[in-house]
């Protein structure tokens, strides 16, 4: 739905310019799938303003990694925010968590940015993009905000990465250089921040936090050094996903939320204020 607005009205994000210069002969065009979440969408009946852009499930029947069990009623919109919630599945070690998936896909050249406040849990709070066949992924935001003393290293970092996969037999490549864990001393759970990715082409990604370029990955040697994409790089259109997860690599090592943490409303919510998408188009195109 292209919610055209009178010239006197603006989107929330209009005060923040796209931090990437479009280049001579090009301009940034806002895509209609952008969402300011300035409406109400109850957990159990989200209504047309939400469902025209989003579904409250993953993009296939999978219900989540590790101890995660995604639940449709663990996402809603209120108070100008998308809320992704987590709770304990009754009488179980499983964790119920919210997830939403875009109904439209994005393809390069595109700039994607979300203003978000991560949860105070050992779960991941994430905004990411994934191809429909689950072989190419770009993580815009992946963070672990828990205030547990032994989790401070993660609370001070944002994981800025991508994956390329072969599904049969399963193989997964992602960068492991130190720059993939961004650190500047911020405790990320304490406030909203803007997390963005410029997906310029199949071989070039730029990551932005609060409008500042913080990481660039470019070329086959870091995008796909094992040639899992058969020379195509990050070339596939992708769904956009916002969710929380209790991921295997943490829960297998005993890092999983307690019942008390999952019952604490000051900890168990991941908030997204808005998400915007800009496609790079030639000047003069309408």
Q: Which residues are catalytic?
A: 137, 142
Nearest Cα neighbor of 265 from 167, 89, 79, 119 is: 119
Spatial neighbors of 225 by CB under 8 A, at least 6 apart, are: 173
How do strand 239-245 and strand 124-130 relate by DSSP bridges?
A: antiparallel
Q: Are strands 75-78 and 68-70 parallel, antiparallel or unpaired?
A: unpaired
The secondary structure of the chain as a DSSP string is ------TT---GGGGS--SS---TTEEEEE-TT-B---S-B-TT---HHHHTTEESS-SSS---STTEEE-GGGEEEETTEEEEEEEEPTTSS-EEE-EEEESS-B-SSEEEEEEEE--SSSSEEEEEEE-TTSSEEEEEEEE-----GGGHHHHTEEEEEEEEEETTTTEEE---SGGGEEESS--GGGS-EEEEEEEEETTEEEEEETTEEEEEEESHHHH-TT-TTTT--S-S-BEEEEEEE--HHHHTTT----HHHHT-TTTSEEEEEEEEEEEEEETT--
């Amino acid at each position: 739905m292209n919610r055209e607005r009178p010239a006197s009205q603006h989107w929330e994000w209009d005060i923040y310019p796209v931090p990437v210069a479009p280049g001579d002969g090009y301009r940034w065009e806002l895509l209609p799938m952008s969402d300011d979440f300035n409406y109400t969408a109850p957990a159990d009946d989200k209504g047309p303003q939400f469902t025209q852009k989003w579904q409250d499930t993953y993009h296939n029947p999978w219900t989540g990694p590790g101890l995660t069990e995604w639940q449709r009623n663990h996402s809603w919109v209120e108070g100008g925010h998308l809320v992704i919630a987590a709770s304990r599945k009754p009488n179980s070690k499983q964790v119920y968590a919210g997830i939403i998936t875009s109904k439209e896909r994005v393809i390069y050249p595109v700039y994607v940015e979300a203003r978000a406040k991560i949860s105070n849990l050992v779960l991941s709070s994430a905004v990411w993009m994934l191809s429909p066949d689950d072989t190419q992924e770009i993580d815009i935001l992946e963070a672990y905000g828990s205030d547990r003393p032994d989790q401070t290293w993660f609370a001070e970092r944002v994981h800025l990465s991508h994956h390329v996969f072969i599904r049969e037999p399963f193989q997964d490549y992602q960068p492991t250089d130190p720059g993939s864990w961004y650190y500047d001393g911020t405790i990320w759970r304490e406030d909203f921040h803007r997390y963005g990715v410029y997906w310029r082409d199949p071989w070039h990604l730029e990551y932005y936090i609060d409008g500042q370029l913080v990481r660039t990955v470019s070329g086959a040697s870091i995008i796909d050094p094992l040639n899992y994409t058969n020379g195509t790089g990050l070339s596939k259109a992708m769904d956009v996903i916002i969710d929380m997860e209790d991921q295997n690599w943490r829960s297998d090592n005993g890092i999983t939320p307690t019942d008390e943490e999952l019952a604490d409303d000051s900890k168990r919510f991941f908030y997204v204020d808005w998400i915007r998408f800009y496609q790079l188009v030639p000047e003069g195109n309408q």
